[in-house]
Amino acid sequence: MSLNLPSSGPRGQRPKRLISPASIMIYSVLFVAAVYYLIPLYVMVMTSLKGMPEIRLGNIFSPPVEVTLQPWATAWNSACTGLYCEGIKVGFFNSMKILVPSVILSIIIASVNGYALSNWRFKGSELFFTILIFGAFIPYQVMLYPLVIITRELGIFGTLTGVIVIHTIFGMPILTLLFRNYFVSLPPELFKAARVDGAGFWRIFLQIMLPMSLPIFVVAVILQVTGIWNDFLFGVIFAGTKNFPMTVQLNNIVNSTQGVKEYNVNMAATILTGAVPLLVYFFSGKYFVRGIAAGAVKG
Amino acid sequence: MTKLHSVSIKDLSLNFGSVSVLKDLNIEVADGEFLVLLGPSGCGKSTLLNCIAGLLDISEGQIFIKGKNVTWEEPKDRGIGMVFQSYALYPQMTVEKNLSFGLRVAGLPKTEIQKRIAAAAEILQIGPLLQRKPAELSGGQRQRVAIGRALVRDVDVFLFDEPLSNLDAKLRSELRVEIKRLHHKLANTMIYVTHDQIEALTLADRIAVMKGGLIQQLDDPLTIYNKPRNLFVASFIGSPAMNFLKGEIATASGAPAFRTGDVEISLTTYSTQSELAAGHSVIFGFRPEHITIGDQPGPTGQSCPAIVDLDEPMGADSLVWLKVAGKAISVRVDSGRRYQPGEKVFLTFNPAMASIFDAETENRL
């Protein structure tokens, strides 16, 4: 006896609804959040493209009637930062001079640190690591005065070298943590196999570990580039007036008390200063997420 | 004549802090011998292998390889090659570069490297794979390359750390045969860690069964299988597992016998190492294939009635679960006949093939 099942009714793939209450909710929240963060950027870009007379009308949301790139040129070339009027480009190049060596130096040291701490455990290596990580939780301000004295005694206070050394030191805790966790997540057999093959500390690091570590290096570069580029405190204290980074110069432009406030120039200068980290995120966001996930799995 | 020892381990101990992982181990591995370290996870077998390889520093004792004290030597100077469970191939290098890495580190001339790679590729049949990256290889091919990496080093001792555990069942049995063939061909000393008893029994010249950082028994496979030295070895080796019945020694017409409930099995044919004192609590162990099932009772003193509980056909043979004196035991029988639950049968034991353990010390009597 066979059961008499109806042939009508649902059959095959279940239809998907394009618009459901849940998706409406999700998209509206996302839309509101996006608008919330984009409006200030919109205002900045629009203002930077207007001339001063148009700004004085007070309609900050309206697009420029007459588009001018003059504020951008002024910001870059001739805006006054205190006594000098050479624009923010001086700061840009100073920041580059601080950024490139600091990023390279800190990442080289931290990657070797992380590698040694995960693969070449020595007596007290865990304690060493704990102390290093603890450094990440001490407020910078506490260490400023001692550091000023130390750098002064070393003769590097107020120099490019000084601020690079400071950035390298302060990058150590978080970068070492990042690299150590990444190297711990790599299969330990690889390390053992390389040792049986006779490779030593540096050869294993350079020929086995490094080629496998691109994602975590990308993360480290992004972290350091944004961190050091956005730094104000160390720059203003340790770099010396000649080497003030872009953030400090920007502050000097925006907060100058002489004459009329040129909002369009200020906006242009601010966007220029923020452009570097923004571009870094745009071009490496994919690697960033991947690397963070790779480094964060094991503790 | 003294036999040449390839690897000697003397009083080896390893402690991690206050945790003792290996305790006072002594092993002599003869030249060309295939020794398997077998045990459950956490028994210290892989740790011992890492100690021999020099990847772990030991706390006490000495390690000799080819008569040379290597206790403080670096792994590369010990004359060993190692194969890991996870293959541990360098992912960014081609197979050829993987094979030659150690040789390049050692600074061998190019022609010599080429020669050795060609020889290893020939033996392991990985010639066509030489220019591929490990990611483009199957599991079996990867493990072949990993073996090749040990092979090119031209070493005295091969160390295998569960090399087949990551492979599926079919590949595992294929590679197992290949490893055995390789051992016959090279006649190198091999130390092989596994938790798979089939691998151990098929490959080994001798097996060291380990538990809790101690060697429970070190013997050839058949002795381990037939005359386990204690209850742990008996229960760990053999699939389906050995049956155990708790009971005591009784005296039946002047000869020792095993008694549980109203079942009595004569032990006159059992070769004992010590006195079987009457009244002593013991565990009677016997393998499923060492019992026969019949419809009629067998010779007195070797037979007892049983009730069929379950019949598990396994192809070549069947495993029949029975109740004897209220306890479950399994018997391996020819799959020609099926048994129905509740059926009444008679079992005939072969005491010569049984094992009797002291219930307290769990050691073989």
The tens-digit pLDDT sequence of chain A (299 residues) is 567 787 788 888 887 777 788 889 999 999 999 999 999 999 999 999 998 888 888 888 888 888 888 999 989 988 887 777 888 999 999 999 999 999 999 999 999 999 999 999 888 888 989 988 888 888 888 889 999 999 999 999 999 999 999 999 999 999 999 999 999 988 899 999 999 999 999 999 999 999 888 888 988 998 999 999 999 999 999 998 889 999 999 998 888 767 778 889 999 999 999 999 888 888 887 777 766 665 544 33
Q: Residue A227 is inside which H or E element, if any?
A: helix A214-230
Q: State the count of interchain CB pairs (< 8 A) between A and B.
A: 60
Measure the CA–CA gap between B309 and A149, rounded to whole angstroms. Answer: 86
Check if A196 contacts B (Cβ < 8 Å). Answer: yes
A199 touches B: beta carbon within 8 Å: yes
Which amino acid appears at position B202 of this protein? T
Report d(CA B200, CA B209) in Å as an integer: 10
Q: How far is CA B36 from CA B153, B186, B272, in A?
A: 22, 17, 27
Pinpoint the residues of chain B covered by CATH 2.40.50.140.
Answer: 243-358
**Contact residues, chain B, for A207 at CB < 8 Å:** 90, 101
Q: Which residues on A lie below 8 Å from B84 (Cβ)? A: 189, 192-193
**How many C-beta atoms surround the C-beta of residue A24 within 10 A?**
10
Phi-psi region of B325 (alpha: psi -120 to 50; beta: other; left: phi over 0): left
- Amino acid A66 reads E
Give dist(CA B132, CA B144) in Å, integer.
13
* Secondary element (H or E) of residue B83: strand B80-83
Nearest by Cα to A225 from A279, A267, A272, A178 = A279
Provide, as residue numbers in chain A, all residues whose Cβ is less than 8 Å from the Cβ of B76.
Answer: 195-198
Instruction: With a cut of 90, say whether residue B231 has pLDDT above it.
Output: yes
Which of A121, A196, A210 to mutate to test binding with chain B, by most B CBs within 10 Å of its CB?
Answer: A196
The token duo for A12 is 């095959």
Pairing, β B68-69 against β B60-65: antiparallel
B99 closest CA partner among B86, B115, B85: B115
* Angle (CA) B293 B294 B295, round 5°: 140
Task: Measure the CA–CA gap between B250 and B264, rounded to whole angstroms.
Answer: 8
Domain B243-358: give its CATH code: 2.40.50.140
CA dihedral B359, B361, B363, B365 (to 10 degrees): -60
Structure tokens at A21: 């209450």
Convert the pLDDT of each residue in B326-364 to its tens digit.
888 999 988 888 888 988 999 998 888 899 999 888 899
Element (H, E) at B283: strand B281-286
Q: Which residues contact B287 (CB under 8 A, 6 or more apart)?
A: B238, B242, B243, B353
Structural domains in chain A plus CATH codes: 21-68 (no CATH), 92-246+276-296 (1.10.3720.10)
Contact of B14 with B59, CB cutoff 8 Å: yes
> Measured in whole angstroms, how far is the alpha carbon of residue A147 from the centre of its chain?
24
Cα(B9)–Cα(B32) distance, integer angstroms:
16
Q: Which residues contact A249 (CB under 8 A, 6 or more apart)?
A: A81, A88, A90, A91, A94
- pLDDT digits over A49-94, tens only? 998 888 888 888 888 888 888 999 989 988 887 777 888 999 999 9
Question: How far, in Å, are A257, B43, B162 from residue B210 at the CA level?
Answer: 81, 6, 15
Q: Do A198 and B55 touch (CB under 8 A)?
A: no
Residues with Cβ within 8 Å of residue A289, at least 6 apart in sequence = none
> B180-207, pLDDT tens digit by residue?
999 998 888 999 999 999 999 999 999 9
Looking at 3.40.50.300, 3.90.110.10, 3.40.50.970, 3.50.50.60, the CATH number of the domain B5-232 comes to 3.40.50.300
Rounded CA separation B349/B268 (Å): 12
Which single residue is written with the structure tokens 């030991």? Answer: B58
Q: Which of A194, A198, A212 comes nearest B92 by C-beta?
A: A212
For residue range B233-268, list pLDDT tens digits in order. 999 998 889 999 999 888 877 778 888 888 888 888
Taking CA–CA distances from A187, the nearest residue in chain B reads B88
- From-to residues of CATH 3.40.50.300 in chain B: 5-232
**B228 touches B71 (CB < 8 A):** no
- Out of B75, B82, B105, the one facing A203 most closely (by C-beta) is B105
pLDDT for B107 equals 92
Model pLDDT, residue A257: 65
Q: Tokens standing for A34?
A: 């996006």
B122: helix, strand or coil: helix
Residue A293: the pLDDT is 64
pTM of the predicted model, to two decimals?
0.82
Contact between A160 and A243 under an 8 Å Cβ cutoff? The reply is yes
Pick from A196, A199, A207: which is nearest to B82 by CB? Answer: A196
For residue B80, give the nearest of B45, B50, B121 by alpha carbon: B50
CA distance A183 to A207: 14
B10 CB neighbour count, 10 Å cutoff: 16
Alpha-carbon gap, residue B142 to B144, rounded angstroms: 5
Distance from CA of B257 to the nearest CA of A (A): 53
The interface predicted TM-score of the complex, written ipTM, equals 0.84
Note the pLDDT of residue A2: 62
Reported as type and span, the H/E element at residue B106 is helix B95-106
In this complex, the residue of B50, B84, B105 whose CB is nearest that of residue A197 is B105
Q: How many CA atoms lie within 13 A of A87 on its CB side?
A: 16
Share of chain B above pLDDT 90, in %: 53
Output A282-286 pairs: Cβ under 8 A, ≥24 positions apart: A284/A218, A284/A221, A284/A222
Structure tokens given for B176: 């197992």
Min Cα–Cα distance to chain A from B76, Å? 5
CB burial string B249-275: b at 16+ within 10 A, e below: bbebeeebbbbbeebbbbbeebeeeee
Q: Shortest Cα distance from A203 to chain B (angstroms)?
A: 9
CA B114 to chain centre: 36
pLDDT confidence tier of residue B296, bands split at 50, 70 and 90: confident
